[in-house]
Amino acid sequence: MTGISHPILLLGVGTAGAKIAHGVSRAFGDGMRCVLVDTDASSSVEGADFILLGGDRLAGRGAGGDIVAARLAAEDSLQTLNSKVEGIRLAVIVTSLGGGTGGGATIEISKHLADLGIATVVFATTPFFFEGEDRMRNARSAMSLIEQEANSVFFLPLDKLVGEEDVMQEAMKRAVDTLSGGISLLWRLIMKPGYIKLDADRLRHLMTGSGRGRFSFVTVQGPDRASQAVEKLANSELLSLADAPVNGILCGVLAGEDLRLSELGRIADGIRTSFGEHVSFELGTVNDEATFCGRLCVVIMLFEKLPKAEKSLASGTKGKRRRASGMSPAVDRGRFSNSAPTIWHGEDLDLPTFMRRSINLDF
């Protein structure tokens, strides 16, 4: 199966984002379309597709933590991206917020891709606590704008990607390695489905229409590996239920030929019990003996809301701006447009039921 047949592109944006994306494409191997994008020429890696943003403006030296400079640099060079996204329907952007380019360029790229009708899912790390308030502020200002432009976003605090006992100098590298591993697992789930197949359209629909989500993954082995996986995920800080209620769960189990039905059952039950028994649940498997022999990897995405009808996907910035503003779907509120919404248990009751329940009406 070649990458060409898959209309999905991985984009690594900014210096750390490029490193993570390159790590993902190395971990995944052939068949992944990946482009690295940075204002810093030194992010170019031999053998990888690379776009330098704002070469004339920033001379290939990076944006120096300036989000505005990075946005302008991205604007200068957006057309360069066009030839790389031909035939693409979904772009997965990986970036690290805190500097200039990761945040600034991701905002502009997401907007540009939306104009081209390409949906975007963004995985963005937020800075370590020890990096200081300036970087955190930089990250926060980019987060809200990215949320407005991208279809779905997964913010991953770097502090939660590494153990407290990790040595500081090692922490960056570990975080990059961990995230690369997790996203390459997600890629396998999308590209190499196993016995239990996630419907590709359903998967795209969920991933691109769900606003903010949470993402985590574990690798386990041994006789009680299924229970271990559930326990680790239930305790994962990346999936903390304190953040916001969950409306949908997507779970991928990647294993070798020894994956037992009972293990799948234990994982599915455990995850539903931990994160929501009455919410939409999608399960997929990847069976790859060569890669996962004896090991079992579980990838999980929690969605804070379910996507609306497929028709409204990739419907441009306006729709996404509304979606980012909270729980109200991107619809015209008609005769209610001048009155305050009637919110009950987090739902805008002025909207028709089929919209609130994300029921796909086949017009």
Ligand X SMILES: Nc1nc2c(ncn2[C@@H]2O[C@H](COP(=O)(O)OP(=O)(O)OP(=O)(O)O)[C@@H](O)[C@H]2O)c(=O)[nH]1
d(CA 211, CA 209): 6
Residue 182 as a binder of ligand X (CB under 6 A): the answer is no
Q: At what angle do helices 317-324 and 133-149 cross, to 10 degrees?
A: 120
Q: Out of 52, 85, 176, 330, which residue is the one contacting ligand X (CB under 6 A)?
A: 176
Nearer to Mg ion, 69 or 92 (CB): 69
Nearer to ligand X, 74 or 267 (CB): 74
Using CA atoms, how far residue 164 sits from 129, 171, 283, in Å, is 12, 9, 31
Residue 14 as a binder of ligand X (CB under 6 A): the answer is yes
Residues 81 and 111 sit within 8 Å (Cβ to Cβ)? no
d(CA 283, CA 272): 11
Of residues 100 through 139, those in contact with ligand X by CB under 6 A are: 100-102, 127-128, 131, 135
The listed partner (ligand X, Mg ion, none) that binds 60, CB under 5 to 8 Å by sort, is: none
The listed partner (Mg ion, ligand X, none) that binds 96, CB under 5 to 8 Å by sort, is: ligand X
Residues 57 and 76 sit within 8 Å (Cβ to Cβ)? yes
Which of these segments, 172-180, 245-253, 267-275, 352-360, binds ligand X (CB under 6 A)? 172-180
Which of these segments, 58-66, 183-191, 269-277, 285-293, binds ligand X (CB under 6 A)? 58-66
Residues 268 and 311 sit within 8 Å (Cβ to Cβ)? no
Binding mask 67-106 toward ligand X (x if CB under 6 A, else -) reads ---x-------------------------x-xxxxx----
Which of these segments, 4-12, 39-47, 139-147, 291-299, binds Mg ion (CB under 5 A)? 39-47
Residue 209 as a binder of ligand X (CB under 6 A): the answer is no
Take residue 307 and report the two structure tokens written for it: 């996507």
- 3-state SS, residue 59: coil
Residue 40 as a binder of Mg ion (CB under 5 A): the answer is yes
The listed partner (ligand X, Mg ion, none) that binds 187, CB under 5 to 8 Å by sort, is: none
d(CA 30, CA 203): 22
Take residue 156 and report the two structure tokens written for it: 């991953």
d(CA 245, CA 302): 9
The number of beta carbons lying within 10 Å of the beta carbon of residue 285 is 20
Nearer to ligand X, 125 or 247 (CB): 125
Q: Out of 8, 11, 15, 319, which residue is the one contacting Mg ion (CB under 5 A)?
A: 15
Non-local (6+) Cβ contacts of 108 within 8 A are 71, 74, 75, 78
Residue 54 as a binder of Mg ion (CB under 5 A): the answer is no
DSSP secondary structure string for all residues of 61-87: B--TT-HHHHHHHHHHHHHHHHGGGTT
Nearer to ligand X, 8 or 105 (CB): 105
Handedness of CA 199, 204, 210, 213 (dihedral sign): positive
The listed partner (ligand X, Mg ion, none) that binds 176, CB under 5 to 8 Å by sort, is: ligand X
The listed partner (ligand X, Mg ion, none) that binds 118, CB under 5 to 8 Å by sort, is: none
Of residues 271 through 330, those in contact with Mg ion by CB under 5 A are: none
CB of 162 to Mg ion, least distance (A): 21
Give 286's strand partners. Answer: 254
DSSP state of 277: T
Q: Out of 9, 37, 53, 63, which residue is the one contacting ligand X (CB under 6 A)?
A: 63
Of residues 60 through 89, those in contact with Mg ion by CB under 5 A are: 62
The listed partner (ligand X, Mg ion, none) that binds 100, CB under 5 to 8 Å by sort, is: ligand X
Q: Residue 160: which H helix or E strand, with range?
A: helix 158-161
Take residue 166 and report the two structure tokens written for it: 């990790």
Binding site for Mg ion (CB under 5 A): 15, 40, 62
Binding site for ligand X (CB under 6 A): 14-16, 19, 39-40, 62-65, 70, 96, 98-102, 127-128, 131, 135, 158, 172, 175-176
